[in-house]
């Protein structure tokens, strides 16, 4: 049962433009959401997170938006840079799960010059 | 460098065999997590240990087991290996301690992974 879904397996964007990655979830108990970035041959790296009490969190070029009623979150990267080319995973956690993260399948982002 | 180390980097073995994957968490982290990433799949949570004790279990097969030792390193044991066990296995660590609340465990730091190939 896939509780976190990333329906776009890949995204191609031009350097300098905005990248928008989407993530949907089904479990209403999730209250903390994270985005991880993964380069080939490396482990995932934490990027940004958001608690369910917020609808937006910003960190430099990265902004995560949360729409609880739609059970949807998105990651915006502005402006996109070639170094952003990676696989991005959305993850979610419920308050009682103490770190048991549910991951989406990932979106491969390619930033072209 | 996340501070989490995993050995070996690659492992090639045959069906029916048993292997042990090792993980050393970041200094000071008490929680260790194991994840499996099969081809084109997201990371699947297997199991979590906190300060030597099992805390949470995911879809971990009975053929798989793990433990966390007093020095906080962890080992994941995979036995009676099947072709379908071929995957990347990641270890992650987190946890400043229980006082920070459940969400403090969410920002996990991942090791580089062990790629297991079962032939």
Query: How many CB atoms are closer than 10 A to CB B89?
Result: 24
Q: Would the pLDDT of B22 be above 90? A: yes
CA-to-CA separations, A66 to A77, A86, A87, B40, in angstroms, rounded:
15, 22, 20, 26
Pick from A94-103, B47-56, B108-117: least confident: A94-103
Q: Would the pLDDT of B25 be above 80? A: yes
Q: Does A80 touch chain B (CB under 8 A)?
A: no
At residue B2, the pLDDT reads 84
At residue B8, the pLDDT reads 97
At residue B74, the pLDDT reads 98
At residue B107, the pLDDT reads 80
* 8 Å CB contact of A34 and B106: yes
Q: Does A85 touch chain B (CB under 8 A)?
A: no
Closest B-chain CA to A44? B110
Any alpha helices (H) in chain B, and if so which ranges? none
Instruction: For residue B92, give the nearest of B78, B116, B112 by alpha carbon.
Output: B112
Instruction: Report how far residue B94's alpha carbon sits from residue B29's, in angstroms, rounded to the nearest whole number.
Output: 5
* B31 interaction partners in chain A (CB closer than 8 Å): 99
CA-to-CA separations, A71 to A26, A75, A94, B18, B118, in angstroms, rounded:
7, 14, 14, 41, 38
Mean pLDDT of chain A: 93
| Min distance B14 CA to chain A CA atoms (Å) | 23
At residue B97, the pLDDT reads 47
B83: enclosing H helix or E strand: none
State the pLDDT confidence band at B70, using cuts at 50, 70 and 90.
very high
* A95 interaction partners in chain B (CB closer than 8 Å): 102-103
């Amino acid at each position: 049962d896939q509780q976190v879904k990333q329906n776009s397996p890949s995204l191609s964007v031009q350097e300098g433009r905005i990248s928008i990655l989407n993530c949907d979830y089904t479990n209403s108990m999730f209250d903390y959401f994270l985005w991880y970035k993964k380069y080939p041959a490396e482990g995932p790296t934490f990027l940004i997170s958001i608690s369910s009490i917020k609808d937006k969190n910003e960190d430099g070029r990265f902004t995560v938006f949360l729409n609880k009623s739609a059970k949807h979150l998105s990651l915006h990267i502005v402006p996109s840079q070639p170094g952003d080319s990676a696989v991005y995973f959305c993850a979610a956690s419920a308050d009682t799960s103490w770190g048991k993260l549910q991951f989406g399948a990932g979106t491969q982002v390619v930033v072209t010059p | 460098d996340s501070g989490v180390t995993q050995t070996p980097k690659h492992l090639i073995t045959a069906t029916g065999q048993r292997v042990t994957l090792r993980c050393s968490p970041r200094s000071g982290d008490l929680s260790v997590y194991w994840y499996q990433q099969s081809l084109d799949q997201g990371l699947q949570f297997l199991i979590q240990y906190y300060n030597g004790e099992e805390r949470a279990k995911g879809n971990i097969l009975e053929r798989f087991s793990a433990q966390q030792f007093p020095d906080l390193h962890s080992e994941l044991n995979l036995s009676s290996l099947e072709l379908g066990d071929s995957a990347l296995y990641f270890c992650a660590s987190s946890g400043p301690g229980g006082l920070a609340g459940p969400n403090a465990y969410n920002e996990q730091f991942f090791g580089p992974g062990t790629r297991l190939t079962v032939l």
